[in-house]
Structure 1
Amino acid sequence: MNILMFVSQLNTGGTEKYIHSVSRYLISKGFRIGVVTMGGPLLNSFKKAGITVHLLSPKKESLVERISLLSLIISKGRYGLLHAHDSMSFRYAAILHRQYKIPLIATVHGTYHKQSALLATSKVAKHLIAVSPNLSNWLVRHMKISSNKILMIPNGIDTLTFNSISNKKKWRKALTLPLSAQILVYAGRFSSDKLPIAKKVILASEIVAKNNLNFVAVLFGPGSSVTRSKLVELAAKANRRLGRRAIYIRPPLSDIQHAYYAADVIVGTGRVALEAMACARPVIATGVAGYCGVVEPKNINEIIRVHFGDHGAIVSITVKKLSEDVNSILSRPRRARLLGEFGAKTVKDRFSIQKVGSQLIQAYMK
């Protein structure tokens, strides 16, 4: 089967990495995968994985022109199934489905999609895939979409790419980070919806660093120059108050696992949390919906349900609580190691790309 994925940009976000992982798995199972996109930082990674990339011009074109070009791509590539992943893709794929009666599946990655596009797609799609139980409930209760149309298939993690055996000092040296420090890594978009999280990470890190001269925090993420400059300024002020450089703001990494390997504790949500767990690092989960705290056996099912803070939360995020949880991990090395081992086993048992990919193939074949 030839499958055409739709996504606006190939940025270093969770959606794009989800597409990359499942596409590689599908190719290993004999599928041919194409992606329609306007490009982005992960373009070469997609090409190297054997994924056919169909580049659209970022210039504004009329809807008729864009649909005509997409029709040609589908015809030449002999694509037999469309799989859309964001608001713009939902719109285009729904139109193409109506014209050519090609089966359509859409993955809903969050509550941020344009509701008009999501509803239009839900009417014609064979299935809507939700990546968390809470998101499935949201589609039913808020969007009034029939539960019969919704499949819950989580993010899949390639545990060969994200693993627990890499050398910590090797990657600290590669990333020019202190070799002997206790390092917190935060990974996430520096966008308006997640900016408050990054700010709280900086302020919590300042509290930790006051009493721990060996502590360093590094924030990695894509974002506009405006949001990035706000974080850089906030970090600079915190560093001046501390009298040392303890907080770093870094650009996104296409191979973000290298940052996880360098870390002692990771703060993140959604796919970031799962990737970090696969690398056997203790994780503190917080997202746009709120705070979940340290990921551990007693709360793992609840945290999975809310997608590590992006699709629901346990409490509101506070600087005080975040700093306390960071300290609780860094001050107890044995607990940190056990949390890392638990996280790696959880991902292997419940979120491996093999398990998730097989569920996706079943959805395609239904």
Structure 2
Amino acid sequence: MKILVYPHDLAIGGSQINAIELARGVADLGHDVTVYGYPGPLVEKITRLGLDFVASPRPRRRPSPTVMASLAAVVRSREIDVLHGYEWPPILESWLVARRTGRLAVGTVMSMAVADFIPRSLPLLVGTEQIADAERRSGRTAVGVLEPPVDLAANNPDLGLDTEAFRRQHGIRADEVLVVVVSRLATEMKREGLLVAARVVGELDASHPVRLLVVGDGPARAELESVVANLPPRAGGPAVQLVGELSDPRVAYAAADVALGMGSSALRAMAFGKPLVVQGESGFWRTLRPENLGDFAWTGWYGVGDGAGTGTMRLRAELEPLVRSARVRKELGAFALETVRARYSLQAAARRQADHYEAARAAGPRTTVDPLSLSRSGLAFTRYTVDRARQRLSGRVRLDDFNARPVAAQRSTSGGRRA
């Protein structure tokens, strides 16, 4: 098959890295894969992996007529069979172009909820069983699950990365327990937890030698810097450091003693054999242990707590045993590595992705759409655009709408399925 993979952007981020790594995995199975998108930092990764890249025009209002005209031209000139959009803007643009050109469109949503205006006829993959269940309950039939995969050849404890030099570079003492979070410093989902982590590590450092390294950048950075600046000074250097975005953060994962994270970042930390405290919202923090793996398999590497005010207490309770005990860190790090190797390899995910293409192709291009379904999608998109316009007028624009109202926050995880 000739497949065009269209990530939602090419800045550093979990969904788009998954899209690119899966594209390489599918190409390794013998398919012809092109990556399409507006140029950004991840173009270098696309090139390094030996994938063809085609640049799109700069997208503005979405879906973008200019982008769709370009996309249609690429589809025709390269005789593309399958257009694969990641997240709602590329999904809508791919679906509209597929209808125009008679090709097949499929979509992947790695956000924590699916936009209700994505056409129900479009074959869709989501990142958790809980989200797939919610979509099926809403009437979507062509939906499957593909959990965020990890390239275990590129992410593992045996790469020989110079972790000692990395620790020296950032002034990490040999006796300090290094806690690392690799994350986009986003306002939605990430801000609350990052602020809590900075405060908790600052408090723990009074009784245990511990350092938090925050790797990443984004709109919440200024607020995080303010919190860090107000932490009590200490003789051995700052308890919390913001190191900015690294084009290759693997050495940070490898150097960590403990990792904090959610989603694909959590899984990459696990691939380096690190004990993991999963970050969520509303005070959610939980250490990965054998007894709660089934919960994370259901909700994804994320959760919703009892309220933002509980976050400091919750994280301290989870983090302190890890900081105190090297034995506990070793045991839980080994379990994390075993889990990611058993469930999340990129090669297995690429095979499932290719099977999804084949199944969608066997069902045939869905160029005709039920009028009621089309009307429902159109009304939902109109409501969305009106809401965004109101946000802009009020000066309170949410940067990531469908991570801002996750399925996990709407449905209890107490009925989580065991692995």
C-alpha displacement of 1:156? 1.1
Aligned partner (choices 204, 212, 220) of residue 208 of structure 1: 204
1:83–1:178: structure 2 CA closer, same or farther, 3 Å change rule? same
Match of 2:166 in 1: 172
Separation in structure 2 between the aligned mates of residue 27 and residue 5 of structure 1, nearest angstrom:
11
CA RMSD of aligned residues (A): 2.2
- Determine the C-alpha separation between the residues in 2 that align with 1:174 and 1:360: 41
8 A Cα contact 1:292 1:308, kept in partner: no
The alignment status of 1:128 with 2:119, answered yes or no, reads no
Counterpart check, 1:192 vs 2:206: no
Moved more, 131-140 or 345-354: 131-140
Change (3 A) 1:313 1:304: farther
Aligned positions of 1:276-291 closer than 5 A? 276-288=269-281, 291=284
Indicate if the aligned counterparts of 1:209 and 1:242 stay in contact, CA closer than 8 A. no
Runs of 5+ consecutive residues of structure 2 not aligned to the other structure: 360-419
> Per the alignment, in what secondary structure is the counterpart of residue 250 of structure 1?
strand
Give the count of matched residue pairs. Answer: 353
Is the CA contact 1:5–1:35 (under 8 Å) kept in the aligned structure 2? yes
What pairs up with 1:163-312 in 2 under 5 angstroms?
163-165=156-158, 166=160, 169-170=163-164, 172-173=166-167, 175-180=169-174, 181-193=176-188, 194-212=190-208, 214-224=209-219, 227-240=220-233, 244-288=237-281, 291-309=284-302, 312=303
- Residues 145-185 of structure 1: per-residue CA shift (max 9 Å, x gap): 32x31111111111111102245743524753415121001
Superposed CA deviations along residues 318-346 of structure 1, whole A, max 9, x for unmatched, are 11221221111121111111111111111
Deviations along 1:233-273, one digit per CA (max 9) or x if unpaired, are: 11111144889411011212232221111100000001111
Name the SS of the counterpart of 1:308 in structure 2: coil
Match of residue 311 from structure 2: 318
The one-letter code matched in structure 2 to 1:49 is L
Tell me the CA shift for residue 222 of structure 1: 2.8
CA contact (8 A) 1:168 1:263 kept: no
Q: Following the alignment from structure 2 to structure 1, what is the Cα–Cα distance between the partners of residues 232 and 9?
A: 34
Alpha-carbon deviations, 1:198-222, whole Å to 9, x = none?
A: 111111111111212x211011123
Find the aligned partners of 1:279 and 1:154 in 2 and give their Cα distance: 18
Quote the residue 1:15 is aligned against. 15
Structure 1 unaligned residues grouped into runs of 5+: none
1:40 Cα deviation from its structure 2 partner: 1.6
**2-side partners of 1:150 and 1:289: how far apart?**
29
CA deviations on 1:251-309 (whole Å, 9 max, x unpaired) are 12232221111100000001111111110000000124752511010101102211121
Q: Distance in 2 between matches of 1:109 and 1:177?
A: 36
Q: 1:171 to 1:95 in 2, by over 3 A?
A: farther
Deviation of the 1:115 alpha carbon: 3.1
Residues 171, 261 of structure 1: 8 Å contact kept: no
Match of 2:24 in 1: 24
CA distance in 2, matches of 1:47, 1:95: 28
Question: What whole-Å deviation, never above 9, does each CA across 1:16-62 have from its counterpart, x for those lacking one?
Answer: 11112211211222222212211222111111111222212326489
- Is the contact between residue 3 and residue 32 of structure 2 (CA under 8 Å) also seen in structure 1? yes
Relative to the length of structure 2, the TM-score reads 0.79
> Does 2:146 align with 1:153?
yes
Q: TM-score, normalised by structure 1?
A: 0.90
Q: Which residue of 1 aligns with 2:83?
A: 82
